[in-house]
Structure 1
Amino acid sequence: MTSTSPLPGLARFNALEESAARAALHEACASTTWAGHLLAARPYATAEDLYATSDAAMVHLTAADLDEAMAGHPPIGRPRPGDPASAREQRGMAGASETLRAQMLELNLAYQERFGHVFLICATGRTGEQMRDAVRERLGNPPEREREIVRAELGKINRIRLARLVGDDRDDREGRPTP
């Protein structure tokens, strides 16, 4: 008997035509270089292999690659309309007071002025207050330190998004899919 049911997530991802796989990866992370690393390593035997390849690719992203990736992220408190991923990830701001929203807007602008890019944090599981406190704290970082924090936060976000892509959405709040 032949099954017409869709392939499980990882098998489906492995079987995608390159252009479709590239588009799916672009939804997870806007870095062309990162996506190229992940495409080159297909097929993946396990989801953990996919996550490990993502982590390794993150280490090699240049400043320009990180800028490209960050350009794909909306500011905290302002998810893109019609983008369920950013709305889900920023759920901690959904019920935020007007005061907290105003604080985040002001802090986002100050951060962008200081570092030249959007404030990036793995917002999954964080409250609006936690995100506000994080941006306040990180505003004092030297640019080099902040760039490495951004790299780590982006890696967490990528893991969560990859887990959803392959149907392994049992992620924890640190961006690592649970075994």
Structure 2
Amino acid sequence: MTNPKLDNLNALSQQQYLEQLQHICSSQRWQQLMLKQRPIRSMQQFKQVAEDAFKQLNEADWLEAFAGHPMIGDMSSLQKKYSQAKHLSQAEQAQVAEAQQDTLQQLLDLNHAYLERYGFIFIICASGKPAEVILQALQQRYGQSREQELSTAAEQQQQISFLRMENLF
């Protein structure tokens, strides 16, 4: 049985295909690795190809992927960065948007400290998580080494990307 959404994705021009992948993960290397595997015949194959591509990323690729995310809790950044695809990130951070101002301020303040310490923004699969849970995770992860945190953020990036793939299809 064919998947009409996959068929449509495979029928896109190379540039249009890359634009769709951009909504999943902003690492250009990941996108190029995915592009090389066209056509994709099933969602299972799409996920496997994505997983294999993630395994080939280096630190610079991960940092590029992280840079494609708005800072959690910074709703103005979220709106500016994702005006065209804002439904994805806003849906992912919906629980955060409903948080108390004090919690949002703590998230924002600690996010800035995190960025200064690690050199990239805090990445977490925020889907369905209230701001208080995200703040707690941020507080716990803030003590990790940069190497540990880069690895944890990469795992979270993959979770976010897989959720976005499911939403795409």
Give TM-score, length-normalised by structure 2.
0.91
Name the residue aligned to 1:29.
25
Q: Does 1:9 align with 2:12?
A: no
Mapped to 1, the partners of 2:51 and 2:73 lie a distance apart of 27
| Structure 1: runs of 5 or more not aligned | 1-6, 168-179
Name the residue aligned to 1:125.
128
Which structure features the higher share of helix residues? 2
Mapped to 2, the partners of 1:132 and 1:58 lie a distance apart of 27
Q: What letter corresponds to residue 30 of structure 1 in structure 2?
A: S
Q: Deviations over 1:92-151 (max 9, x none)?
A: 112100110111011101110110111000111111111000100000001111111111
Mapped to 2, the partners of 1:120 and 1:70 lie a distance apart of 7
Q: Give the alignment's Cα RMSD to 1 decimal.
A: 1.2
Out of 80, 101, 104, the position equivalent to 2:107 is 104
Q: Deviations over 1:53-88 (max 9, x none)?
A: 111111111111111111110000124213111110
Give every structure 1 segment of 4 or more consecutive aligned residues whose post-TM-superposition deviation is greater than 6 Å. none
Mapped to 2, the partners of 1:110 and 1:78 lie a distance apart of 14
| Structure 2: runs of 5 or more not aligned | none
CA drift of 1:26 comes to 1.0
Q: What letter corresponds to residue 89 of structure 2 in structure 1?
A: S
Name the residue aligned to 1:157.
160
Mapped to 1, the partners of 2:107 and 2:160 lie a distance apart of 20
Q: Secondary structure at the match of 1:88?
A: helix
Q: Does 1:55 align with 2:51?
A: yes
Give TM-score, length-normalised by structure 1.
0.86
